[in-house]
């Protein structure tokens, strides 16, 4: 099962904002007065079953981080065996992935773009090339662009376009050096997606 490569705007229209998947915003549809009576209420306003609520929350998590169903289930199982609340550990595992860390540092515009940088060997971790997007970043890891003109040009474009906003406390960036530092494991409050992780864990409760 491959990563999602379909229309991204369609996903955010159904699931809400997914900053890791795309920077585009959901645009509400305009309904004319003439046919307003014949238009069915939007899905979001209809009463949803508990299963569907959990399913959509799981889908939001999966598409934001760009995971396959098998990958997400694997992370849930790992989190279930770790110390601490399963949902919180799950989010920490996903946030500390290399592709997501690059995205949070502003070195890529989306997580798919970050994954592409890693796959094409543009990224060093502690001075060594890492081409595995799922690499789990650890405190004291140093993430840099390779000393190649193409690698640095790509990341410079992303850094220039990235909005100047506060980084999560577990990260530090040095833009002029094309470098990011991992200070600690991320706290729950700095997770980059508004999500109810408990619903995701409940969705997988029969599989773990």
40 domain-assigned: no
Q: Are residues 89 and 102 in the same domain?
A: no
Give me the pLDDT at residue 153, please: 94
Co-location of 159 and 104 in the same domain:
yes
Task: List the one residue out of 85, 186, 75 whose CA is nearest residue 138.
Answer: 186
pLDDT number for residue 179: 95
Q: Are 115 and 133 in contact (CB under 8 A)?
A: yes
Q: What's the pLDDT score for residue 34? A: 42
Q: Are residues 128 and 77 in the same domain?
A: no
One domain for residues 180 and 112: yes
Asked whether residue 1 is domain-assigned, the answer is no
Residues 6+ apart with CB under 8 A from 142: 125, 126, 127, 179, 180, 181, 182
101 and 78, same domain (yes or no): no
* pLDDT tens-place values along the chain, 208 residues long: 455 555 554 555 555 566 666 655 544 444 544 444 444 445 555 688 999 999 999 999 999 999 999 999 999 999 999 999 999 999 999 999 999 999 999 999 999 999 999 999 999 999 999 999 999 999 999 999 999 999 999 999 998 887 777 889 999 999 999 999 999 999 999 998 999 999 999 999 987 6
pTM: 0.80
3-class DSSP string for 7-27: CHHHHHHHHCCCCCCCCCCCC
Whether residues 112 and 181 share a domain: the answer is yes
Strand arrangement of the beta sheet that strand 171-174 belongs to: 128-129, 123-125, 142-145, 179-182, 171-174
pLDDT of residue 162: 76
Q: Note whether 130 and 145 are same-domain residues.
A: yes
What CATH number is attached to the domain comprising 160? 3.10.290.10
Is residue 117 domain-shared with residue 61, that is, in the same domain? Answer: no
Report how many domains make up the chain: 2
Query: Which pLDDT belongs to residue 48?
Result: 83
Q: Are 94 and 198 contacting, i.e. CB atoms less than 8 angstroms apart?
A: no
- Structural domain for 166, as ranges: 97-185
Q: Does residue 28 sit within a domain?
A: no
Q: In this structure, what are the phi and psi dihedrals at residue 11, rounded to the nearest 5 degrees? A: -70, -45
Are 89 and 163 contained in the same domain?
no
Same domain, 121 and 180: yes
59 inside domain: yes
Residue 1, CA distances (Å) to 106, 114, 133 in order? 28, 20, 16
Residue at 120 is within a domain: yes
* Model pLDDT, residue 33: 46
Half-sphere exposure of 200 (CA within 13 A, CB side): 26
What CATH number is attached to the domain comprising 77?
1.10.1050.10
Residues 53 and 115 in one domain: no
Angle between helices 149-161 and 111-119 (to 10 degrees): 170
Q: Could you tell me if residue 202 is inside a domain?
A: yes
Give per-residue burial for 6-32: e unless 16+ CB within 10 Å, then b.
eebeebbeebebbbbbbeeeeeeeeee
In DSSP terms, 123 is beta-bridged to 145
What is the rounded distance in angstroms from the CA atom of residue 111 to the CA atom of residue 92? 16
């Amino acid at each position: 099962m491959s990563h999602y490569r379909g229309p991204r705007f369609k996903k955010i229209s159904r699931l809400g904002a997914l900053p890791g998947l795309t920077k585009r915003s959901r645009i509400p549809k305009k309904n004319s007065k003439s046919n307003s009576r014949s238009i069915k209420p939007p899905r979001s306003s209809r009463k949803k079953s508990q299963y569907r609520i959990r399913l959509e929350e799981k889908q939001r998590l999966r598409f934001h981080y760009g995971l396959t169903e098998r990958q997400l289930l694997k992370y849930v199982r790992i989190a279930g065996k770790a110390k601490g609340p399963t949902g919180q550990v799950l989010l920490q595992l996903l946030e500390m992935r290399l592709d997501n860390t690059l995205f949070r540092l502003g070195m890529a515009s989306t997580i798919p773009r970050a994954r592409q940088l890693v796959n094409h060997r543009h990224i060093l971790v502690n001075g060594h090339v890492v081409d595995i997007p799922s690499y789990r970043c650890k405190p004291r890891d140093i993430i840099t662009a390779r000393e190649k003109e193409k690698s640095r040009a790509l990341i410079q474009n992303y850094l220039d376009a990235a909005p100047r906003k506060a980084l999560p406390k577990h990260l530090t960036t040095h833009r002029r050096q094309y470098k990011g530092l991992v200070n600690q494991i991320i706290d729950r409050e700095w997770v980059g997606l508004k999500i109810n992780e408990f619903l995701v864990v409940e969705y997988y409760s029969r599989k773990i």
